Structure 1
Amino acid sequence: MTAGRSTVRELIAAPHPDVAPLPPAARCAPGVRVLRGVPFAERAGSRPLELDLWLPENTEREALPLVLFVHGGAWLRGRRDDMGMRTRDWDPGPFARIAAAGVAVACADYRLSGEAHFPAPLDDLRAALRWLGLRAAELDLDVGRTVVWGESAGGHLASLLALTPHVGPAPVAAVVWYGPADLTTARGPYDPRSSTTPEALLLGGAPAASPERAREASPLAHAHPGAPPFLLVHGEEDTMVACSHSRDLATRLEELGAPAHLRTVPGADHGWYGLPAARVEEIFDQSLRFTRRCTRRAAGEG
């Protein structure tokens, strides 16, 4: 074979996500475009990882702040474009609303616990941030103004992404809805001795049997004085993830001098079950205001 010539195997492979053409954008709401199924990483023996992008109309070609959204689903199921059961019937949807407020949104896949164990999902989110930085000029993004926003298991991963080091710009803030913060201690229905919980499936075994691994996967253990601002919102009646997770993380961050705002919601179970629709909208609006405020500060605008 002639030196320098591509092999058939190389030619038939899809272009690498770092250089693959972006898909065409579709208008999904007034002033908002969406790009669906954009590949951002390849994992050996696994499905390609993709993200969806909601982009504001940006005629001035300004670099836009960004929300990296992380879906829930107990680390074993879920869809990247789902902010939870109480937002599924919104029209326009939550991501279009964020984009209409001038903030781009990337909703990223991550490997689920049936595909790979921790820290694989966290590595995947770091890969998404890396890709977004690499393609930022094409997409008019300022990844230096990224807020990571997650719900439930996605809130857990969002917290870890905000609290642990990685290459490239770190998130400037985190919005965490009812996310687990501590995998080492029994809380509510969670028993770290069990090998069948979602947490055990995430880690590949009972957390109590691997305490160092459980600690590594616990946002509470990674709180530090230089942490970015956190908005933690949790239902006081949560029957799946005890409200003490958010209370303890907020307390620990505050003790270390890191900015944290905790809001506990009376009458709310997991996923905002039990709340009137207007209360869910108000929680979303508060989270969006926090996001815009933090990205303005990071840009030196406020």
Structure 2
Amino acid sequence: YDLLGRLGHSPPEQEAFLTRIVIGVPPDRARQTWEQGCPTSWLNPDAPPFFILHGDIDTFVSARQAEAFADRLRAVSGQPVVYAELPGAQHMWEALPSVRTAATVAAVDRFLSHLHRQYSNRSASAPGR
């Protein structure tokens, strides 16, 4: 959520990993690249609806950072922002098929279906329809 540590709660090894494996250069040599890849840099009133799912034992991106991101997004967005913390889930917990993954897919489907129903209802009641 915050590659540059502005939300706090970043593990000390995160910047080294991102520099070495993901971005290729440290933030002090490529600040704009890091900014562009940082979700917190894109928070604005035009943000779409969000359903943030995060593991409570994620050791790469802390749940506190995810929660702070959700709070900041709610503060600027007029769209729904849902935050769900999954007990016992680590980073990339959804990468392998499991009962938890299936339940998560079902929850995301319900969220998206709800948004679609709202959109359809607004469209159907719009003037000129």
The TM-score, its normalising length taken from structure 2, stands at: 0.73
* Other-structure match for 2:107: 286
Compared CA separation, residues 190 and 291, structure 1 to 2 (3 A): farther
Please give the alpha-carbon distance, in whole angstroms, between the structure 2 residues aligned to 1:267 and 1:254. 25
From 72, 75, 82, the equivalent of 1:252 is: 72
Deviation readout 1:215-252 (Å, 9 max, x if unpaired): 22111111011211100000000122322332122111
Compared CA separation, residues 291 and 283, structure 1 to 2 (3 A): same
Compared CA separation, residues 191 and 270, structure 1 to 2 (3 A): closer
* Other-structure match for 1:31: none
Compared CA separation, residues 240 and 191, structure 1 to 2 (3 A): closer
Alpha-carbon offset, residue 289 of structure 1: 0.9
Identity among equivalent pairs (%): 25
Matches within 5 A, 1:33-48: none
Higher helix share: 2
Please give the alpha-carbon distance, in whole angstroms, between the structure 2 residues aligned to 1:190 and 1:301. 51
How many equivalent residue pairs?
116
Please give the alpha-carbon distance, in whole angstroms, between the structure 2 residues aligned to 1:199 and 1:256. 29
Higher relative contact order (CA 8 A, sep 6+): 2
Deviation readout 1:135-188 (Å, 9 max, x if unpaired): xxxxxxxxxxxxxxxxxxxxxxxxxxxxxxxxxxxxxxxxxxxxxx11111712
**What secondary structure is seen at the aligned counterpart in 2 of 1:270?**
coil
Compared CA separation, residues 296 and 208, structure 1 to 2 (3 A): farther
* Other-structure match for 1:207: 27
* Other-structure match for 1:218: 38
Are 2:11 and 1:188 aligned?
A: yes
Please give the alpha-carbon distance, in whole angstroms, between the structure 2 residues aligned to 1:219 and 1:238. 18
* Other-structure match for 2:90: 269
Higher strand share: 1
Letter of the 1:251 partner, please give it.
Answer: D
Name the Cα RMSD after superposition: 2.5
Letter of the 2:111 partner, please give it.
Answer: F
Compared CA separation, residues 294 and 233, structure 1 to 2 (3 A): same
From 50, 56, 59, the equivalent of 1:239 is: 59
**What secondary structure is seen at the aligned counterpart in 2 of 1:202?**
helix
Alpha-carbon offset, residue 199 of structure 1: 4.9
Letter of the 2:101 partner, please give it.
Answer: V
CA contact (8 A) 2:18 2:24 kept: no
Deviation readout 1:242-274 (Å, 9 max, x if unpaired): 22332122111111143211011121112328x
CA contact (8 A) 2:56 2:90 kept: yes
Letter of the 2:69 partner, please give it.
Answer: L
Please give the alpha-carbon distance, in whole angstroms, between the structure 1 residues aligned to 2:13 and 2:51. 23
CA contact (8 A) 2:14 2:60 kept: no
The TM-score, its normalising length taken from structure 1, stands at: 0.34
Please give the alpha-carbon distance, in whole angstroms, between the structure 1 residues aligned to 2:88 and 2:28. 31
**What secondary structure is seen at the aligned counterpart in 1 of 2:92?**
helix
CA contact (8 A) 1:183 1:199 kept: no
Compared CA separation, residues 190 and 252, structure 1 to 2 (3 A): farther
- Unaligned ranges ≥5, structure 2: none
